[in-house]
Amino acid sequence: MYKHILIPTDGSALSEEAVRQGVAFAKSINATVTAVTVSPSFHTMSMDTMMVSDTREQYQKDCEDRAERYLAFVREIARSSGVPCESAHVVNDHPYEGIIDTARTKGCDLIFMASHGRKGVAALVLGSETTKVLTHSKISTLVCR
């Protein structure tokens, strides 16, 4: 069966429910978990390089702080369930690529993710990032509603 499960999170309520279910599933099959959250890279245009520098630093700090909150939630759920867990914050403009790349580099054999994330219903049935993971990943993916 599965030995190493990747659980992506974006901090949304549905994502947090997927975390709970993913960790419970991992516990039931004696698997380990890797949590991942993906932040887009900084993009802006400005004539004033000083303004961009300050903005970039603040953006990166905000992303790191937010990622740490999301990942700490997963680590705590896993810890309280007795499931080994590591975590990763990835910067990628395409969250689905960050998810798939992390699953591949960490040696995960299952991606356990929510059907929708922060962006809401971007497609009729599944969220756009979930759809892209399903379409592009060669790793088995379980979608949680």
Among residues 60, 64, 85, 66, the alpha carbon closest in space to that of 75 is found at 85
Domains defined for the chain, CATH in brackets: 4-144 (3.40.50.620)
Which residues lie below 8 Å from residue 24, measured CB to CB, with a gap of 6+? 81
The pLDDT score that the predictor gives to residue 52 is 58
The pLDDT score that the predictor gives to residue 121 is 43
The arithmetic mean of pLDDT across residues 97-109, rounded, is 98
Query: Hey, what long-range contacts does 117-125 have (CB within 8 A, 24 or more apart)?
Result: 117/10, 117/12, 117/14, 117/15, 118/10, 118/11, 118/12, 118/15
Distances (CA, A) of 135 to 9, 40, 41, 61: 19, 20, 23, 32
The pLDDT score that the predictor gives to residue 72 is 99
The arithmetic mean of pLDDT across residues 95-105, rounded, is 98
Among residues of the chain, what percentage have pLDDT more than 90?
A: 75
Tokens 């356990």 correspond to 112
| pTM higher than 0.75 | yes
Better-predicted residue by pLDDT, 56 or 68 = 68
The arithmetic mean of pLDDT across residues 10-31, rounded, is 97
The pLDDT tens digits for 28-65 are 999 999 999 999 998 776 555 555 556 888 889 999 99
Q: Is 51 helix (H, G, I), strand (E, B) or coil?
A: helix
